[in-house]
A and B are shown apart, each in its own frame.
Chain A
Amino acid sequence: MPILQLNNIETYYGAIQALKGISMDVGKGEIVTLIGSNGAGKSTTLKSISGLAKVKNGSIIYKDKDITNRPPHETTLLGLAHVPEGRRIFAQLTVKENLQMGAYSVKGKDIIQERMETVFSYFPRLKERLNQKGGTMSGGEQQMLAIGRALMMQPEVLMLDEPSMGLAPIIVEQIFEIILQLNSMGITILLIEQNAYQALSIAHRGYVIQNGAIVLSGTGSELIENEQIKEAYLA
């Protein structure tokens, strides 16, 4: 039984159809990746799930509940965390305030403090920079903050939109390491990447999206070996 299921999702930006019937599912505890080139509809798929983009047709089922077109402040409450593309941390807020915003719906100072400690155990750098403005940090630190902020919600499903974008290879390595760790703690991961090889190498399963439609799917290792994919994304 998948924890998250997309049935024939169609999403439009004005008159332009960005998603032309996306169907995919994510099993509990899996790492699933969605790969594809720029403008294929990867981010739109995540936005449709979290409620940032309005779905015109189709349905999204999360834990047996239809969550199609629920607003983002509700889907996140259900346990779906969305780390947006480009990190989008609150640049003028301190690291601490950014993390507190992640736990906006959480009541109780002790619980928030506890979760913050958990985040620091993954990203010790954030603890050092607690009172620094988010916008003054390096790209890698900002990505850590963006993921840490999402972890403050204690999500069941963590959706990551291009976490490797613009980062040095060594930082990307670290981020993927953390993703694997989080997954081993039981968090389901839905990962969007242009960096297809790296994503497929840690994913249980993958989907390939092209022009708003899924063109291929399979296990991570199957897709890595696939000739078409090698040609299109791994060259």
Chain B
Amino acid sequence: MKQLFKLLLASLFFTFQFSIVNYVSGQGILGGHVTGNIQLDGQISHRDTVIGSDDVPQKLLSNARADILYTNGNFSAGLRYEAYLGPMLGFRPDYEGQGIANYFVSYKKENFAVTAGHFYEQFGNGMALRAYEDRYLGIDNALRGLNVMYSPTSGIIFKGVIGRQRHFWMESNGVVRGLDAEFSLNDIVKPWAESKTRLTLGGSFVSKYEDATYDWIPANVPGYKVNLPLNVATTAVRMDLAHGGFGLKAEYAHKSQDPNDLNNYIFREGNVLWMSASYSQRGLSANIQAKRVDNMGFRSARTESYTEMLFINYIPAISKQHTYSFLSMYPYATQSMGEMGLTGDFMYKFKKETLLGGKYGTDIHINASLIKGLDTVDAGGRGTEGYTSSFFGTGDTYYGDLSVEVAKKLNSSLKLVATYGYVVFNPVIEGHLGDLHHNHVVVADLTWKLNKKNSIRFEAEWMGSDSKYETNIDDKRAGDWIMGLIEYNLAPSWFVSVSDQYAYNDGIGNYYNISVGYTKGATRLQVGYGKQREGIICIGGVCRNVPASNGLTFSLTTSF
């Protein structure tokens, strides 16, 4: 009997399987595609009292994830498995655990798209809404809910979202609702279709609902409590104007009263204004950006102030994202509570066969930025306006930099990039009190192409700083530094690099590193051994602290 049952079951299975396969090949379900990507990062770190690293109890820390995506014509579905079995150093312990962190189904046509489940979205420049993910910062504020896009006619796009934000392995209580409309006027107004002037206008409305039954925060006035608004709204308008080489972009966002942990429960409204003007032609470009932020941290949970999670909007830093180690050693982080900034960028290409261009031409790139606090006047504590600020007034200097980069091909096999940089940094942007640091940085970066496939890159950096370790013991970046790096590349697969950073004056630490990488198609394996300074890594003005580490790291990524 049991045997018979088994047989029956087996035949049922086969029938089922065949029908699926038939259905699938007939309907073309598996005529669709399964694609995906996998990343596995791991780390073994040991105690080093000089740089301040510690043994990790698990020995091995790892962050692993796999995205699987199924696409068939306009339909797609995906899921992501994440496993942080001992999250790597610098990632919040809240990530500990594993599971399906993201799943969605989606239907997308040219003029209509709907996604149910987790999604990422950005309205305009993100000042009202940006759900995004940055795995190196450990940020994932994906919304889970519904995302709809509809374009009734060419040049008009409407978007709508509703959902809750991911918070590590949980979800925030706050519900985020948003609408966005964008109008490309050249497509809408017929006589402008061929105009050289292109104008796009847009507007967003984003609202957060969060109940507040559990915490009425005591106001500063005895006997009173703060009446928390349950709905907080951000409204934004933007424009994008282009005429030949000229470009003008701007976005303004305003936020209603939003007492929260970050602003100490004040009732001041928030706003941000960002503008960018640029001119460019072949071999020449200039860009100026200005920004003013006032009380604009917008989160889906008002109590969230400790981590970098649950931001609904995104206020980018406008200073240049430097790539050389010493230039990015003191990075700028956006102060969403209040800042004013100005940045300028200039690029020029001296043509071949000119005095400064030489045989191969010369590229020059100059960048400068200055970011200051707001000029504020105290107007009471929690439960009040909090402070007032004048629009054009500025307060303390937070950050300033100037960099000049010259890139020149010396002959058919040698290319040199020489950079000078100056950075002024106020520790208050990382939450510490202290004097301004002033740093000078010089970098020489030489690539020597031996033949078609082999090349060697040399990088030498120097930084002189007035931040001394004796007076700044908490800061492992203090002091004057030198660095050398040699990297051997065998295209398109292999690289080996050896580097050392050494605090030769008024600082401590000797950070050597060796790493080897192998790439084949979409697969890359990298293994490194050495010391990593505690510090801050920033992407787009959002930063995370990375503790010191000493040991082995590896990273395997692949796509299929």
Whether A associates with B in a native complex is no
